[in-house]
Amino acid sequence: MIYHTVDGAGAPLLLLNGIAMTAASWRPEAEPLERRFTVIRCDLQGQLMSPGPPPQDVGEHVGDVIEVLDHLGVESVDLLATSFGGAVAALLAARHPERVRSLLSVASADGFTEVMAAEVRRWRDGVLQSLEGGDRGHLSDVLEPVVYSPAYVEAHRDERALRRAQIAALPKQWFKDLAGLLESADSFSLAAELGAIRCPTLIVAAELDGFIPLERCRALAEAIPCADFQVIEGAGHAVVVEKPSAVVDLALGFLEESPV
């Protein structure tokens, strides 16, 4: 079973990671949300705390999530997910509608354009160069200009330097698994299944997302029946890192309005 944590009290709320995240990355959002919800966090197969070869098909992560929910005795959850996790969350909501009460997807898309796919291949090359070269922190140099807004990088130089060092210290297995997760992104095509989502849904874009264009995020919302769409201004793709308070505020507002 994949790694998971459970904290807080109240209705269950499941957080699903972006591709290079780990459950701990959600801490700024999780701590305030735990005052209102039972917050479940997990690392998908191939992420830091769930090491091992990831599945080749993004959709296979859905079964792992269902296994966690079954283990915890959770019949249905609200979902808060970002990027890669947003794809998994959308497939979970489409394939198992009885298990999903609502869906809030941040900085995700309905599928990859060729430009996005080329960017993912560049990331994978960066992973392999970091793994094979002498400086594993190189991966941070590859990702940062795309996933963070320029203003955030400028304002958090010391923090980003520390994060670069932390990435450089990660085990080889993490780099190997991340390369596999990035390869699996070729299977990231949701269009055929999005129409099956019936739960209340909010799709959130990041204004300055350097990876997922606003139109792709908007297309995700338009493909889901009755989904709402909002934009968090001034944030890059890693919006859950850059603006956690904005994400929490949106989540609380959305979940309070969603029917039980």
pLDDT tens across the length of the chain (260 residues): 999 999 999 999 999 999 999 999 999 999 999 999 999 999 999 999 999 999 999 999 999 999 999 999 999 999 999 999 999 999 999 999 999 999 999 999 998 899 999 999 999 999 999 999 889 999 999 999 999 999 999 999 999 999 999 999 999 999 999 999 999 987 778 999 999 999 999 999 999 999 999 999 999 999 999 999 999 999 999 999 999 999 999 999 999 876 54
Other Cβ atoms closer than 10 A to 120:
19
Count of positions (residues) in the chain: 260
Tokens of 57: 């098909």
Partners of 213 in beta bridges: none
Based on its alpha-carbon atoms, the radius of gyration of the chain, rounded to whole angstroms, reads 17
- 38 three-class SS: strand
CA dihedral sign of residues 103, 107, 113, 117: negative
Q: Give the pLDDT score at 185.
A: 84
Distance CA 12, CA 15 (A): 10
**Interior angle at CA 16, CA 245 and CA 101, nearest 5:** 90
CB 239 within 8 A of CB 82: yes
Distance CA 244, CA 28 (A): 6
Name the residue among 33, 39, 30, 36 with its Cα closest to residue 7: 39
- 230 three-class SS: strand
Helix axes 138-147, 114-132, angle to 10 degrees: 160
- 191 three-class SS: helix
Backbone dihedral angles phi then psi of residue 35, each to the nearest 5 degrees = -75, -15
Name the residue among 50, 71, 241 with its Cα closest to residue 159: 241
211: left (phi over 0), alpha (psi -120 to 50) or beta: alpha
How far is C-alpha 246 from the geometric centre of its chain's CA atoms?
16
